[in-house]
Amino acid sequence: MKTNTIVGLIVAGIVIFFGIIYFSMSISYNNKEVTLRNLVNAQIENNKANYDKVWKTISQTAQISESYRQSFDSIYTKIISSRYENDNSLLFKFVTESNPQFDTKILVKLAETVQSGRDEFYNEQKKLIDYNRERDNLIMTFPGSLFCSNKEKIDIHLVTSSKTKEVFKTGEENDIDLGLGKDK
């Protein structure tokens, strides 16, 4: 065999070898990008469902709390008004008798529901941020940046408050006045 033919076959073999490697890596990185994009999009939908669940749970727990308060108020008012009607020793009897007590456990349950729901939603948003970061790292760093064909950013929207947006816009946060202990 001639030297030119041998060199040509070697060069062709090398080109084919690197072509196969490039093609394989391209498929692998694009599949990884698609997997991560789908993960981010699924997490966005999961966040929506989680927010809806948390909101409904808090809303319904608050409705139960309010219903309990109204029922207690109605019952307590009837008991007290009928028990002490036309009685001159009213204060003494009120202090010494056993009267119905408003059970605050339902309000504690509402506060716990709000806190646990917020914590759960916060954790879901952290997952979304992390999944998006992982995808961004894949498409923006070497060698993924060479092989990934879809480099379009995924626009994730985090649920925050107008207060938080204002603080990050201005870069300033002042003390929060809860209005506790002040006459209004």
Each domain of the chain, given as residue ranges in start order, spans 3-156
Of the listed ranges 82-86, 155-159, 162-166, the least confidently predicted one is 82-86
Task: Tell me the H-state helices in the chain.
Answer: 3-83, 90-96, 105-140, 144-147, 162-170
When pLDDT is cut at 50, 70 and 90, the band that residue 22 belongs to is very high
Integer Cα distance of 100 and 83 in angstroms: 12
Residue 177: its pLDDT value, please?
A: 74
**Tokens describing residue 108:** 């504690």
Q: Closest by alpha carbon to 158, among 183, 123, 178, 129?
A: 129
Integer Cα distance of 29 and 35 in angstroms: 10
When pLDDT is cut at 50, 70 and 90, the band that residue 184 belongs to is very low
Integer Cα distance of 36 and 38 in angstroms: 5
Integer Cα distance of 46 and 39 in angstroms: 10
- Please check whether residue 14 is in contact with residue 99, taking contact to mean a CB–CB distance below 8 angstroms: no
pLDDT in tens, 79-105: 666 665 666 665 555 556 666 677 888
pLDDT exceeds cutoff 70 at 114: yes
Q: Is 180 left (phi over 0), alpha (psi -120 to 50) or beta?
A: beta
How distant, in Å, are the alpha carbons of 42, 126, 161, 184 from that of 175? 37, 26, 16, 19
How many angstroms from the chain centroid is the CA of residue 114?
13
Helix (H, G, I), strand (E, B) or coil at 183: coil
- Please check whether residue 77 is in contact with residue 17, taking contact to mean a CB–CB distance below 8 angstroms: no
Integer Cα distance of 103 and 123 in angstroms: 32
**Tokens describing residue 41:** 């999009």
